[in-house]
Structure 1
Amino acid sequence: MKLKLFIAAIISTSMSLHAEPAQASANFTFEDLKAMAKASAEKPYTPTAVPAPELIDKITYDEHWKIRFKEGETLYPNGKKAPLQLFYPGRYFPEPVSIYIRDDKNNVKELPFSNALFDMPDDSPAHDLPQGFGFAGFRIMRPDIKPDWISFLGASYFRTDGPQGQYGLSARGIAINTGMSEPEEFPRFSAFWIGPAEKKGESVSVWALLEGPSITGAYRFGLSKDNKEAKGHITSVSANLYMRADVERLGIAPLTSMYWYSEKDKTEAKDWRPEIHDSDGLAIHTGSGQYIWRPLNNPQSVSTNSFIDENPKGFGLIQRDRDFNNYQDDGVFYNKRSSAWIKPQGDWGKGAVQLVEIPTKDETFDNIVAYWVPEKEARKGDEFTFSYDIEWRPLDPKSKTLASVVNTRQGQGGIPGQPIPEGVNKMVIDFEGPVFKGLDRESGIKPIVEASNGEILEPIGAYPIVGTNQWRLAFDYKQSNNNPVHIRAYLVDKNDEAITETWVSDAKVTIE
């Protein structure tokens, strides 16, 4: 199991406010949790020290995963369909989390932490941890208590194993100042209330208290497994946010993933595998109905792209390439990694989908983040409410009328057999969809390719790929300076109507 970016995030924020959640009581409602979060935001931030930090530091990554929750201690907050198990704390998950069980009458009871709930090796340093420390998080198991399908562990991170049972990218509660020059803030879920499903189709519901130096929040999660429409799991989220301080960049519904290299830029890495990534692109369905595909990059420096929109219909980090042969990894199975699609509920107003890409030299850490930034500034005392579903899907929802991008490749520019032009690269984009049925080179299909900070060179080719239902768009480009070329491309029919989604990219000339 690979280390994720959130591990580094947790290390950098080893202290956080830990408000006192309600003790065992009757009729603790979600409104009470909202009031708790709001009241906390009106008080100065007070970090809580990690108990026994020297001991907890000895529970390394490897030591941590040797500690297992005892199957006989499994809890059932919503009957046999939602078995609950808890995570032990460790070096990368040092801050204690309070866990409460909530019944259908909103009676709540805190679960006391004890080493007796866990199996661990005889020589584990965890034996010396004091009683009453606190859990690190939790996971929901399948009914037979075999594999888990969703887990909450570290800061405000959570993830599912998706439709093919393989963990990959993560979601988190909030993103604060991601990709900026100042240090990013990582608020954390400090307490969870886990109970029966509140809506039809859910396996279990979870309430969570979010706490951080600049923000607090009351979250409601509806956890659904194996949804037929999404062909995967659904996490329904309602986030009630309260600003403790001004925040320059507030990221709503953030997704975190890993992209090292793919068929597009495989020359950037020396690994033997053809591709390594949890996601290969950002997909957006805009409020105006446009479909956008932005292939991911592994940049040389931190890169931030904003896609201005109003009331977006959806966005997500997607793993479109599902072919094992393109990865050849029979250990972590990148071809099975889930995609995650954010589906807003209600109108989100004006703002932007923002994509942050961070350089990486291996697959160990997440380096991709995508989220929604509201146009309204986040200032001390402000309140925000956002509701959305996270659909953990094989692919993003497709347009019924537009072809989708299936491949992006970059290589040396020019024409084979002729002198190689200096400072020129070629981009090749393959589209696929039923809209191409019956079309050929005489059907009047035209490419639209636009660029800023660079130049698109003639000729631009758009033609069907023999033996497939795909069309290929190919063009050469060059940069105006050291900054990437911003390119936008799609195909139109003879009536100048778009027949493909819009491909956009920040491209650099990397192959000379």
Structure 2
Amino acid sequence: MVTRRDLLTFTSFSMALAALGFTPAVFAARRLKLAAQVPFTFEGLIQQARESARHPYVAPEQVPDSAVANINYDVYSKVMYKPEYALFNEGVSRFPVTFFSVSSLHKLPLKMSVVENKSAREIIQNADYFTFPDNYQNALSAVKGNVFSGFRVLEHQQSFESHGVKDWVSFLGASYFRAVGEQGQFGLSARGIAINTVFGDTKEEFPDFTHFWFETPEKGSDHLVVYALLDGPSVCGAYRFDMQRTKGVVMDVECSLFLRRDVGRLGIAPQTSMFWFSELAKGSASDWRPEVHDSDGLALWTGGDEHIWRPLNNPLQIRLSAFSDNNPRGFGLRQKQRDFASYLGSAGYERRPDLWVEPKGDWGKGAVQLVEIPTDDEIFDNIAAMWVPEKEAKAGSEYQFSYRLHWLADEPFPSKLARCGITRMGRGGNPGAYKDPDARKFMVEFQGDVLEHLPADTHLDAVVTASRGTLKDIRVEKSPGGKGHWRTFFDLHAEGKEPVELRLYLKSGDKTLSETWMYQYLPFTSSPKPMQGV
């Protein structure tokens, strides 16, 4: 156990080293065991990935099940990285880096290196870098070689004084990573790549980040640059992450991808989230809480300058929606409901971050694809969103993508038009006249400066379309709630069980007043079957 006295001694030691002129990398070497220097540049890493993709994939060796069988979820949550071995602990960066150990949940050991002056030194890993709970002091004794399975970036040097969650970025498992938003809460995850997500009978592939390089930051910098090598049966890639702690987190991502074999669905800048239910469509026996989700909708800003809001579903069967575009301006899964009263639980769903992808450069033609998978529990991620290029992904193809990830509480570039608010659905018709069992009434709310001060008797038009069925009783009114919101009502009659694609926006004369609301209505009555998500 590390005491406050140990921390004070460690701080004094680092100050003494600085006074003697030792560089941050030398300081790290004094605490962590580092291998000899080798040349390193991002261009060199890209070439390494390109060369690797020309050869058959060799799966990295995982630690044997028997070696980590005792490190289950409960034990793993109590394994602590020793602060004296943190990377960039003192005097260099605001943000120390610590590491996760391998476990029964994460059995792939990863390589980690420190970069300075175009040279890299690999960290020689050791189980002694960790403390373990009582009765598990030798939990990693059977593991030979590397023992790191991921890393996290801490908020500040004082994070070591508490075992509470103080990190703002975490990379752990396959190519998954996540960051906190403006309210300091983790939620949905991003991935380096998505390969064949729900693509016919083809099994989804989960490539791994196998080696990370941490660039020694300049003194006082609020950025941390990390490089990564991605490897999998179908792809090899090189990544550069420039991560900045702002009011949320901003990441500039550059990646070069090289395909070993054909890929049916190549997902760029993918993100993964959870949607169980909301007040829009909730089974009466689902749960006592009003809503349970990490994200409640997909937001799009198209290359044609249209802003779209698409609420999420928990369907009875896997659903794939594609939003074709050319050079999209942005997309992301959002958590619009920010009131505690919408959730009432202790999981902090009202604080979960949005994740917005801002493409850079020419992304060309393709589609933002949304995957919705059935679930009956909040423990599964069942939602995925990604950009899929139009051109087929063939073996030997090379791709370069650049984009910025915004982990915030709202879109970084919101529409100046009225924006979609809550959506509600119920049986169609009016009180005393519910005669059509196939009819559903929708209420969609809009809000924004363009509507806020309009008199209640202003005539607005709702432009509503449906892929099938009949629309009736379309009307627009100013909400009586006194917040300047407006809402649209309409009834949809659609026989059968096939989905209905709905589209709605407000206008006054020839002037568009709102962003576009889109929804996939699923006229099913039974509860979804559980299925593990993506």
1:106 aligns with 2:122: no
In the alignment, which of 122, 135, 139 is matched to residue 148 of structure 2? 135
The one-letter amino acid of 1:164's match is Q
In the alignment, which of 277, 282, 287 is matched to residue 266 of structure 1? 282
What residue in structure 2 maps to residue 19 of structure 1?
Answer: none
1:302 aligns with 2:315: no
Q: Relative to structure 2, which stretch is displaced further, 295-304 or 129-138?
A: 129-138
Contact 1:202 1:222 in 2 (8 A): no
Q: Secondary structure at the match of 2:39?
A: coil
Change (3 A) 1:57 1:497: farther
Contact 2:309 2:515 in 1 (8 A): yes
What is the deviation of 1:509?
Answer: 2.9
CA distance in 2, matches of 1:333, 1:470: 27
What residue in structure 2 maps to residue 41 of structure 1?
Answer: 53
What residue in structure 2 maps to residue 211 of structure 1?
Answer: 231
What residue in structure 2 maps to residue 25 of structure 1?
Answer: 37
What is the deviation of 1:476?
Answer: 1.2
Contact 1:197 1:222 in 2 (8 A): no
Q: Secondary structure at the match of 1:297?
A: coil
Q: Relative to structure 2, which stretch is displaced further, 70-79 or 252-261?
A: 70-79
What is the deviation of 1:131?
Answer: 4.0
Change (3 A) 1:23 1:73: closer
Q: Relative to structure 2, which stretch is displaced further, 61-70 or 73-82?
A: 73-82
Q: Secondary structure at the match of 1:307?
A: strand
1:154 aligns with 2:164: no
What residue in structure 2 maps to residue 319 of structure 1?
Answer: 335
Contact 2:261 2:395 in 1 (8 A): yes
Q: Secondary structure at the match of 1:267?
A: coil
The one-letter amino acid of 1:222's match is D
What residue in structure 2 maps to residue 11 of structure 1?
Answer: none
What is the deviation of 1:26?
Answer: 3.9
Contact 1:398 1:404 in 2 (8 A): no
The one-letter amino acid of 1:338's match is P
Identity %, equivalent residues = 43
In the alignment, which of 192, 202, 213 is matched to residue 212 of structure 2? 192
CA distance in 2, matches of 1:264, 1:445: 24
The one-letter amino acid of 2:521's match is A
Q: Relative to structure 2, which stretch is displaced further, 495-504 or 381-390?
A: 495-504
TM-score between the two structures when normalised by the length of structure 2: 0.87
CA distance in 2, matches of 1:159, 1:399: 23
Contact 1:425 1:510 in 2 (8 A): no
CA distance in 2, matches of 1:340, 1:318: 7
Q: Relative to structure 2, which stretch is displaced further, 192-201 or 158-167?
A: 192-201
Q: Secondary structure at the match of 1:129?
A: coil
Unaligned runs of 5+ in 1: 1-21
The one-letter amino acid of 1:130's match is V
Contact 2:127 2:141 in 1 (8 A): no
The one-letter amino acid of 2:236's match is T
Change (3 A) 1:198 1:281: farther
Q: Deviations over 1:175-220 (max 9, x none)?
A: 0011223210000100000113599975210000000000000000
The one-letter amino acid of 1:314's match is G
What is the deviation of 1:86?
Answer: 0.4
What is the deviation of 1:58?
Answer: 3.1
1:449 aligns with 2:464: yes
CA distance in 2, matches of 1:178, 1:363: 20
Change (3 A) 1:502 1:400: closer
CA distance in 2, matches of 1:40, 1:415: 65
CA distance in 2, matches of 1:198, 1:157: 27
* Greater radius of gyration (CA): 2
After TM superposition, the structure 1 = structure 2 runs for residues 349-364 of structure 1, keeping only pairs within 5 Å, are: 349-364=364-379
Q: Deviations over 1:337-356 (max 9, x none)?
A: 00000001112111000000
After TM superposition, the structure 1 = structure 2 runs for residues 119-134 of structure 1, keeping only pairs within 5 Å, are: 119-124=131-136, 126-134=139-147
CA distance in 1, matches of 2:64, 2:522: 49
Q: Deviations over 1:444-466 (max 9, x none)?
A: 3100110013222x211211102
After TM superposition, the structure 1 = structure 2 runs for residues 83-482 of structure 1, keeping only pairs within 5 Å, are: 83-103=96-116, 105-124=117-136, 126-146=139-159, 147-181=166-200, 182-197=202-217, 202-226=222-246, 231-267=247-283, 269-330=285-346, 332-456=347-471, 458-466=472-480, 467-482=482-497
Q: Deviations over 1:390-439 (max 9, x none)?
A: 00010113545311111011111110122442111111111110001332
Q: Secondary structure at the match of 2:135?
A: coil
What is the deviation of 1:134?
Answer: 2.7
Change (3 A) 1:376 1:250: same
CA distance in 1, matches of 2:177, 2:52: 23
Contact 1:76 1:84 in 2 (8 A): yes
CA distance in 2, matches of 1:60, 1:283: 37
Q: Following superposition, which runs of at least 4 residues in structure 1 exceed 6 angstroms of deviation?
A: 198-201
Unaligned runs of 5+ in 2: 1-33, 160-165, 527-534
TM-score between the two structures when normalised by the length of structure 1: 0.91
Q: Secondary structure at the match of 2:290?
A: coil
Change (3 A) 1:474 1:94: same
Q: Secondary structure at the match of 1:34?
A: helix
Q: Secondary structure at the match of 1:101?
A: strand
What residue in structure 2 maps to residue 509 of structure 1?
Answer: 523
Over the aligned positions, Cα root-mean-square deviation in angstroms equals 2.0
Contact 1:453 1:481 in 2 (8 A): no
CA distance in 2, matches of 1:511, 1:482: 9
Q: Secondary structure at the match of 1:266?
A: coil
Change (3 A) 1:502 1:355: same
Contact 1:485 1:508 in 2 (8 A): yes
Q: Deviations over 1:105-130 (max 9, x none)?
A: 02211112211100102322624332
What is the deviation of 1:153?
Answer: 0.3
Change (3 A) 1:190 1:355: same
